[in-house]
């Protein structure tokens, strides 16, 4: 990057400073403000919407154009042509693997699908009705208590081992959380299956019957994982980076990401969209509901995005996947799907939504797909976490390799009391 251009900031007292302007390969320029404190001032940017917190090579988003690239590859191409572990290699290593590299990567991940036997008993510490995300936060964080040989973040071999363990074990833990919540026996991984097949086996198989994966349903879940694998510096990813900046172990960092993802404004969006469709209830109420949205009576979930001001590039892939799954399962006349299609049609033809660029996003369709796959609503965010684990690992790894790595330390605008002197309790005014 060249830092030949500068922006000059001049304060009202005449003091000024030149701030380098940095350019990436794609996206807007960035003003480097790290020397701004020399003037005794900070910037104020709630939620960091106008602040680049890091330099990254992993994911690029252009919300206005509706673009999402992983390492330069459009998400649509990867979702249609690739598979999840190949995408994992791309995000983690920076390149699509050769055939030999892919085979080696798959072998490494597959060799770590089992969890320590004591972890099965660890689940008994949770109530049966505990939310699966609560279990995920606890159990993934607890991996650091079981795998002491991969905690040195300054050792590349430790980091690689931790990455493989997380990729291999998080789906196993997620399936165990589902089984535990429902009172079903744990199903241990079968490494003859592919990554996604194995996850579905651990979720849906029972000791009483043979399980045969349905390739259409497997492909649908694979696409969900690919579409959710990374999404630049979102809340959970930023949480992982901030936790990692302190030198925390990888398992603790990924657990912190899961905790951040649990928030309904982040990972719970597809659940909210599905609940909205259930509340509408019938196609005949769509027009009424749309008018209610305009009147601020109802909230339209699954439309619009904080980043994408155009069509969410993941949504069209998910829409096609929705059709494929429902057709495969004989659910073409599924009530929720027909309702969703009618809502989509009405909203996209209404000037109110067009002017506000409220297009369907990935969450609008993914909830229907997950429901059709037999995944309960309380597991939706867990599925998100399984897919996003590779993004968190890749971002964490990149953060540790950064030349300018420092512990995260945001500043504040203090508006509390000025200095006050302590007054003994018997001398204070009532």
**Catalytic residues, which ones?**
305, 363
Q: In 3D, which of 177, 165, 226, 172 has the Cα closest to residue 199?
A: 172
CA distance 139 to 251: 10
- Tallying the residues shown for the chain, one arrives at 430
The tokens for 225 are 């994982």
SS3 of residue 8 by DSSP:
strand
CA distance 164 to 167: 5
The tokens for 192 are 């003859």
């Amino acid at each position: 990057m060249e830092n030949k251009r500068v922006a000059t900031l001049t304060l009202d007292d005449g003091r000024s400073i030149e701030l380098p302007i940095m350019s990436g390969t794609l996206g807007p320029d960035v003003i480097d403000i790290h020397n701004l404190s020399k003037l005794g001032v900070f910037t104020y940017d709630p939620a960091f919407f106008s602040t680049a917190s890091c330099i990254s090579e992993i994911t690029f988003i252009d919300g206005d154009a509706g673009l999402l690239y992983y390492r330069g590859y459009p998400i649509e191409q990867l979702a249609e042509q690739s598979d999840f572990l190949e995408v994992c290699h791309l995000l983690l290593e920076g390149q699509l693997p050769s055939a030999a590299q892919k085979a080696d990567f798959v072998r490494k991940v597959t060799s770590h699908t089992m969890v320590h036997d004591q972890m099965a008993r660890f689940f008994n510490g949770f109530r049966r009705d505990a939310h699966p995300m609560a279990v995920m936060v606890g159990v993934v964080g607890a991996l650091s208590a079981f795998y002491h040989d991969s905690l040195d973040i300054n050792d590349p071999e430790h980091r690689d081992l931790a990455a493989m363990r997380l990729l291999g074990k998080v789906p196993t833990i997620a399936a165990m959380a589902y089984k535990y919540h429902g009172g079903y026996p744990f199903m241990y991984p079968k490494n003859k299956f592919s990554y996604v097949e194995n996850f579905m086996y651990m979720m849906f198989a029972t000791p009483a019957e043979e399980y045969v994966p349905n390739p259409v349903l497997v492909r649908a879940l694979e696409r969900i994982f690919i579409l959710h694998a990374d999404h630049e510096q979102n809340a959970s990813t930023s949480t992982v980076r901030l936790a990692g900046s302190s030198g925390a172990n990888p398992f603790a960092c990924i657990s912190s990401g899961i905790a951040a993802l649990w928030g309904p404004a982040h990972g719970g969006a597809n659940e909210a969209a599905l609940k909205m469709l259930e509340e509408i209830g019938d196609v005949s109420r769509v027009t009424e509901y749309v008018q209610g949205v305009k009147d601020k009576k109802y909230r339209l979930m699954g439309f619009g995005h904080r980043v994408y001001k155009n069509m969410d590039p993941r949504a069209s892939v998910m829409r096609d996947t929705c059709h494929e799954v429902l057709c495969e399962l004989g659910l073409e006349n599924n009530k929720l799907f027909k309702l969703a299609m009618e809502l989509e049609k009405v909203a996209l033809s209404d000037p109110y939504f067009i002017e506000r660029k409220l297009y369907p996003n990935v969450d609008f369709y993914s909830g229907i797909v997950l429901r059709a796959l037999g995944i309960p609503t309380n597991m939706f965010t867990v599925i998100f976490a399984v897919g996003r684990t590779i993004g968190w690992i890749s971002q964490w790894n990149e953060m540790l390799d950064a030349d300018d790595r420092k512990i995260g330390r945001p500043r504040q605008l203090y508006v509390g009391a000025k200095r006050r002197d302590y007054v003994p309790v018997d001398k204070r005014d009532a």
